[in-house]
Amino acid sequence: MNTMLTKSQQRTICSQLGRVKLQLLYKASVHDFSGPAFHQRCDTHSPTVSVGYNASGYVFGGYTKQPFNQSEGYVHDDQAFLFTFSGEMLLKYPVTAPGYAVRMIADSGPYFGEALVLVNGSKAVVYSSPGKYYNFTAADMHGNDLNLTECEVYQVKETTELERPWRTINWESENTNQLKETIKIYKPTHSSVSHARVLLIGPVGAGKSSFFNSINSVFRGHVTSQAIAGCSTTSLTTQLRTYSVKDGRNGKPLPIIFCDTMGLEESTGAGPDIDDISSILKGHLPNFYQFNPTAPLQLDSSGYLKSPELNDKIHCVTYVIDACKVSIMPTKLEEKLNAIRRKVNLMGIPQLILLTKVDEACPLVKDDLKNIYKSSYIKEMVQEVSSRLGVPLSCVVPVKNYSEELELDPDSNILLLSAVIQILRFADNYFDDISDKFSNIEV
């Protein structure tokens, strides 16, 4: 069964309940808008979250830890609450009389005291009486639209760590220096190239600039913010910027260059033009090029590099995707990403996905970053973004950028450095292909 409750809404509800996930038990449009159908599917399961939907666009319901298979009458629950969504924000209304939190009625759906009933008397309607054991405003709760278009009931299940990590990683502190050393001594396999050039592409706010800042921070030894980063509805990056990473404050540049682009947006005429991205891939656009979403750079424009060297071209494309927004990625944005991916494929450039904000997406990871590859939820997100963008699972790498921290964290460093190692490996694939082509020509 497909859920009407979005992944984002599920996470918001789960954030109120701890380390849990929601499993759909009952869907009225499938099982019938009736009390008996509801009780048959839900009576032996608890805790539960019940959700109603109406034609006015309201999403509302209630939580109870009590099962619904008890004898008729009121049941005590001091943790019960009602809720409604206002945009992405959850408005919560705790029970005011715990002894009257829920009621067991055979011919009705979820029954919260005398305040809110979903599927009332086996009809696709809501019974609403604010102030009866829960205080809320009917207009805020459901907009006074009492006709249900759907009702869903979810069981609340505790999330646990997987028995075995689905990927292995060395979390020992000594591994940080080993990873850094591997990056510092890296040399492209093609003799004419001095560094791997990596293009960062992703939606607004996904963490492209933050990823570079985080890598820079690891090698500087403290949190830095060279590239402009932050929260905004439109891209804070408006120019093509190329950044090198130095080994320490006065150290030598590392053999990797990151190219930061304007953030992708779902609307037409916003974000970088796909022809500009194609020009970046081929090495035609200069550093500090100012993006114009309505007009790509022309061949005769000032600064256009007509004959780029292999050093100027992109050797690996890295998509940066917010783990919290994978499931709610707008269709048009997904289409843009897939259009870019197809163009990159035609050029034979390796592609990798960085999955950011993993700590915000999963409470298990927020508690301990070492749980990243023990989290079944993060694994599901990796599988979903792999499927939606058409790349193998091995090409999706979770990371945690530095965003609010003032000091470095060893576990974050290891994840970030491991991602860079993977990027360099992919860049080597590009150089190997170039060398093979030259070898075939000579033969």
Least reliable range by pLDDT among 17-26, 186-195, 218-227, 300-309: 300-309
Encoding tokens for residue 416? 């970030």
Using alpha carbons, select from 347, 354, 308 the residue that is nearest to residue 430: 347
Residue 395 lies in a domain: yes
Cα–Cα separations (whole angstroms), residue 338 to 280, 281, 321: 17, 16, 13
- For residue range 417-428, list pLDDT tens digits in order: 999 999 999 999
Domain extent, residue 132, equals: 7-158
231: Cα separation from own chain's centroid: 15
Same domain, yes or no: 372 and 426: yes
pLDDT over 60 at 94, yes or no: yes
Domains held by the chain: number: 2
Same domain, yes or no: 51 and 107: yes
Same domain, yes or no: 127 and 204: no
pLDDT band at 328 (very low <50, low <70, confident <90, very high): confident
pLDDT over 60 at 260, yes or no: yes
The total of other beta-carbon atoms located within 10 Å of residue 233's CB is 8
Q: Higher confidence at residue 348 or residue 88? A: 348
Residue 1 lies in a domain: no
pLDDT band at 77 (very low <50, low <70, confident <90, very high): very high
Q: Are 421 and 318 in contact (CB under 8 A)?
A: no
Same domain, yes or no: 245 and 375: yes
DSSP 111-126: EETTTEEEEETTEEEE
Q: Are 114 and 100 in contact (CB under 8 A)?
A: yes
Residue 296 lies in a domain: yes
Same domain, yes or no: 311 and 363: yes
**Domain's final residue, options 124, 158, 192:** 158
Q: What is the pLDDT of residue 443?
A: 43
pLDDT band at 239 (very low <50, low <70, confident <90, very high): confident
What single DSSP character describes residue 98?
A: G
Same domain, yes or no: 148 and 16: yes
Q: What is the CATH number of the domain that holds 316?
A: 3.40.50.300
Cα–Cα separations (whole angstroms), residue 155 to 46, 167, 286: 6, 29, 54
Q: Are 167 and 398 in contact (CB under 8 A)?
A: no
Considering the chain, what percentage of its residues have pLDDT values greater than 90?
53
Strands (E), 188-262: 196-201, 241-246, 253-260
pLDDT band at 250 (very low <50, low <70, confident <90, very high): confident
Residue 167 lies in a domain: no
Q: What is the pLDDT of residue 300?
A: 62
